[in-house]
Amino acid sequence: MAETTLMEKLVSLCKRRGFVFQSSEIYGGLGSVWDYGPLGVELKKNVKDRWWRAMVHARDDIEGLDAAILMHPRVWEASGHVAGFTDPLIDCRTCKARFRADKLQDAQCPQKPSKHPGEHSTCDLTEPRMFNLMFKTFMGPVEEQAAVIYLRPETAQGIYVNYQNVLNSSRQRIPFGIAQIGKAFRNEITPGNFIFRTREFEQMEMQFFVKPGSDDEWFERWREWRLAWHHSIGLTPARLRWHQHGPGELAHYAKAAYDIEYEFPFGWNEIEGIHNRSDFDLGRHQEYSGKKLEYFDQAANERYLPFIVETSAGADRVALTLLADAYREETVEGETRVVLGFHPSIAPIKTAVLPLVKKDGMPELAERIYHDLKRQFPCFYDDSGAIGRRYRRMDEAGTPFCCTVDGDTLKDGTLTVRERDAMTQVRVHQDQLLTYIRERVA
């Protein structure tokens, strides 16, 4: 399958089956902003739930937080975003298009025939200018400089400014972490590749506060745990790799950084960053706020500014990774079968309940079973069309199990449970069905 075709097929499946729609589509869409449909919202929720479970519920040393998107504007001065969260931009005075100066060779001039910016005789490019990626808005009724605030470009800062609140209100001692899932906004110049790089997205970030000197060790632990998490949600290990940031690549706050990259149809790209942020963040917030943010270690009777190890993943990017990883086409009995082979815990719908035919009381029984299962996890009832077609529809939605009510169900109470990947079928009694499915989709 040609790689570009795979992305086109994914985008089309996502729209057709209700995973992802273009924002404001009836008005022509809004650039690089996407909406999640009924299946997409379940998929992304499952990603976030799995992350929250692994990072917060399964651990004693991490607390959750939900900080506001809007923050004091000084936060972004302290973080370095006002001065440094910029891309170099070039404008074309002829066609009015705007390009990233460091990505000209990847960009297309809108004039025909298709060429890179600057290659047409009529191209008239400006010198590069720095452009801040933060979205600005105004707080209160007056649109003046003093009222400017920003939509957060990362969730991390909400954690740093609450670090003492969490410490004082929980029973945590260093080392400990704070985890948060939430929206972030970046006025990206070259967004694209569907939901890979968007202007509004969700981050799943965790900041782990450690004693200086133990940071390298914690950094390595977190690298190992985060890669294991990506394996646990079913991503193909061979399509994941590490990318270490070289000295020229390191962000202003980072002492060391690694990305977890996935081999997308459009190449290897970052899905999560693990950073050793040293004491940069707390040091800057201490300086800009004038509030002491040191930690007092009672046992050792010493004060220090904690170092921070950060793990930062995009929920949308992980959702796209799961979609790309799960998509496959197979030929079955001369026909193409499209399957989203999601790990069952990630699948938006866990099971479908299907009456074999629309008579003999089968729909009534199937509906009763469907309503029982639906109380426990997302299910789908479908009685329209041939059974083979209904299976295919569920394969394409990534549903791991289909339970069919047939003639034998009416006699002995057993249903056919068909598994999505191997298409094997077993018979399960309706009394054991809930346990059978639940054990396999957790």
CB nearer ligand GAP, residue 205 or residue 395: 205
- Indicate whether 182 belongs to the interface with ligand GAP (CB under 6 A): no
Q: Show the tokens assigned to 395.
A: 């394969």
- Indicate whether 366 belongs to the interface with ligand GAP (CB under 6 A): no
| Candidate residues 81, 152, 197, 226; the one interacting with ligand GAP per rule CB under 6 A | 197
Residue 388: CA count within 13 A, CB half-sphere: 5
CB nearer ligand GAP, residue 160 or residue 401: 160
CB of 14 to ligand GAP, least distance (A): 16
CB nearer ligand GAP, residue 135 or residue 436: 135
- Indicate whether 203 belongs to the interface with ligand GAP (CB under 6 A): yes
CB nearer ligand GAP, residue 260 or residue 373: 260
H runs (alpha helix) in 345-403: 362-374, 387-397
For residue 158, give the nearest of 31, 310, 301 by alpha carbon. Answer: 310
Q: How far is CA 127 from CA 271, 291, 315, 407, in A?
A: 32, 42, 36, 75
| Candidate residues 46, 162, 193, 198; the one interacting with ligand GAP per rule CB under 6 A | 198
For residue 34, give the nearest of 157, 220, 239, 192 by alpha carbon. Answer: 192
Cβ atoms of residues 396 and 341 within 8 Å: no
CB nearer ligand GAP, residue 262 or residue 370: 262
Cβ atoms of residues 140 and 147 within 8 Å: yes
Fill in the per-residue mask, 221 to 260: x = in contact with ligand GAP (CB under 6 A), - = not in contact. ----------------------------------------
Instruction: Considering only the C-alpha atoms of the chain, give the largest distance between any 2 of them, rounded to a whole number of Å.
Output: 80
CB nearer ligand GAP, residue 201 or residue 295: 201
Q: How many residues bind ligand GAP (CB under 6 A)?
A: 19
CB of 6 to ligand GAP, least distance (A): 20
CB of 264 to ligand GAP, least distance (A): 12
Cβ atoms of residues 71 and 285 within 8 Å: no
Please tell me the distance from the alpha carbon of residue 158 to that of residue 396, in angstroms, as a whole number.
39
- Indicate whether 261 belongs to the interface with ligand GAP (CB under 6 A): no
Secondary structure (3-state) at 204? strand
CB of 214 to ligand GAP, least distance (A): 21
- Indicate whether 409 belongs to the interface with ligand GAP (CB under 6 A): no
Cβ atoms of residues 150 and 73 within 8 Å: yes
Contacts of 102 (CB under 8 A, 6+ apart): 87, 88
CB nearer ligand GAP, residue 273 or residue 348: 273
CB nearer ligand GAP, residue 176 or residue 196: 196
Please tell me the distance from the alpha carbon of residue 329 to that of residue 261, in angstroms, as a whole number.
24
Residues that bind ligand GAP (CB under 6 A): 154, 156, 186, 188, 197-198, 201, 203, 205, 270-273, 310, 312-314, 316-317
